[in-house]
Amino acid sequence: MEAETSKKPERYELWLAIAISLFAALAFYFSTNPTLRDLDYTAEIASAFLRGDLGFREKPPEWLNEMIPYGNKYYSAFPLGAVVSMLPVALLEKASLIHNFPARILAALIAGACVYFFFQVAKAFGPDYSSLRPKPLTRRILLALFPVFGTWTWCNLGMGGAWQIALGLAVLGEIAALYFTLVRPSPFVAGAFFTLAFGNRTELLLTAPFYLYLFWRRSNENTAGQLRTARVKQMLRVNAPMVIDFLTLPVALALLTAAYNFARFHSIFDFGYFHIPEVHNEPWYEHGLFSLHAIPWNVHTMLFEGFRDDPDFPFLSFPPFGCSILLTSPLLFLLFRAVGSYGAISWIAIGIVTFVLWCHGNPGGWQFSYRYAMILLPWMFLLLTGNGPPKTTVIEISLFAVSIAINATATWLFLWTDRIQPS
């Protein structure tokens, strides 16, 4: 009887999480218009995989202008993981169950899945949420919705191009990996989702040690009495199975990616980006794809670029090539509250990934805010959830509402109107 009673809150919370994620998916679907749906590079290459090719044998359509002519084929600069992620879509298309790239549906499913895991990860913080007390539950719901609807994710993922879908899958992989690390520990499953994350955004490979550290810390806490006087060798022996389970799939994908690169461009480190026609002539890549010279431009775009005024409703507009994430999502100012649970490791992860993003020659091209920073949101979420009070405050609700309003406005302007144009 007691076991059955204890399962009821868990079942209720599971169904609640599913309901919130379905609401998020539907809200995302009906509020977005995938203006870049035709730029489905990864899905096209996935279809080529099913035909036994690594690229196109014939010249691709003109709108896929970033396909790489190399030898007698055309390749994509997207990493292998991003292409493999689209194999289910390619299989559905081959079976004639779909006839076009389902960008809108795919983006909505990613958004809903992200909200599900953000909601569940909040259980790793603060008081015991299993009782589902009203105020803590409200806080969890608001925080779960924030990374999708209160940030630049809403507009950028809603565009539905291959770049945006890859970023969305990376965020999903990160937050799911954190869930299976902090809430429901499973090193192999966490490693699988981490593989999804870095497969779509290669720079996330740098965060692998942080997941391992979190598992290591949890394992050592559970065996503190045994390991208090243990030697390093004994600690390694205890944690070795966890490390192997977590790294199995990431290492496999890394090796396959190296082979994929070598088969196309005769170098395991060559992803092909500089082989895209005219890219090497673009001024922002004068010092290479990654360079310290790019940092000032990226810093300005990500943190300091402002909005624009507009004489017509809604009386403001946004630069078409990026603006400050702090202005587009004011709730992020709460990141700078006192460090809470997982604060130090989250800031280190954010710092390392941000440095790599800042070194990229181009801040991101056509976008709302700074789209690359989507992959920072899972770690920002840990900070926001861990450093706040157990009850939702008026300041949090106000900043959340303003963040939603700004990003709803941007989504409307970018995806449903032609009022934002390059200038």
pLDDT of residue 199: 97
Residues of the chain with pLDDT under 70: 1-9, 125-135, 219-238, 423
Q: Which two tokens stand for residue 190?
A: 């966490």
Q: Measuring CA to CA, how many Å separate 5 from each of 9, 11, 180, 198, 213?
A: 8, 10, 25, 40, 35
pLDDT of residue 333: 95
pLDDT of residue 217: 81
pLDDT of residue 280: 78
- The values of phi and psi at residue 74, to 5°, are -120, 125
Q: At what angle do helices 134-149 and 377-386 cross, to 10 degrees?
A: 160
Contact 33, 228 (CB under 8 A): no
Domain residue spans in the chain?
2-416
pLDDT of residue 238: 65
pLDDT of residue 134: 38
Q: Measure the CA–CA gap between 295 and 74, rounded to whole angstroms.
A: 32
Radius of gyration, CA atoms only, the chain: 22
pLDDT of residue 233: 61
What does the DSSP 8-state code read for residue 59? P
Q: Which amino acid is at 198?
A: F
Q: What angle do CA 372, 375, 379 make, to 5 degrees?
A: 140
Q: Measure the CA–CA gap between 345 and 217, rounded to whole angstroms.
A: 12
Q: Measure the CA–CA gap between 268 and 278, rounded to whole angstroms.
A: 23
